[in-house]
Amino acid sequence: MEAVCELCQESPVRKSARHNFRHWQDGAASTFQVIGSVQVGNPTGGDKGAGTINAGAVYDDNVLLTDYVFDKYFDGHVREEDQKRHGNYRMLTLEEMAGFIEQERHLPTMIGRKEWEKEGASLGTIVTQLWETVETQALYIKELREMMREQGEEIERLKGGRGG
């Protein structure tokens, strides 16, 4: 006996006359294909057009928002619970980062075009990379601020030495 749609009792392997989607099950795997767009819950903005998903929130189990960047920078090591995933984390120096982006044409903390085109990335992976990028850039800003302060102090010291 052929499986049928639980909603309309029609064949799931063709576009439903009652629904704008296709659905089928192959063993343990279920496939649900929407023809058009999907709205989940009650998102603002309404329908965004064919091929889009508009939802109030999207959750991805791969999002691992931790402070391992700050832990490594300030403490010299990541926390025990982050050791498995980020124990070998090393933030590039400003000079290394500048060289990397010039040569590779992407941020060292983000997936590059070649890898993206080959394998893609989940939303969770991208969010994790963005999180690491923001923390890393905050530390670069901190370092640049310290360098500017030191240079300002040196300028003032040199001005004072001129007698002027």
Kindly indicate the confidence band of residue 25, based on its pLDDT and cuts at 50, 70 and 90: low
pLDDT digits (tens, 9 = 90+) for 81-139: 999 989 999 999 999 999 999 999 999 999 999 999 998 888 888 888 999 999 999 99
| CA distance readout (Å), 143 to 88, 140, 155 | 22, 5, 18
Backbone angles phi, psi at 66, to 5 degrees: -125, 170
Average pLDDT score over residue span 55-66: 74
pLDDT, mean over the chain? 83
| Residues 112, 134: Cα–Cα separation, whole Å | 17
Which pTM does this prediction carry? 0.68
- Strands of 16-134, DSSP E: 21-26, 29-34, 38-40, 53-55
What radius of gyration do the chain's Cα atoms show?
A: 26
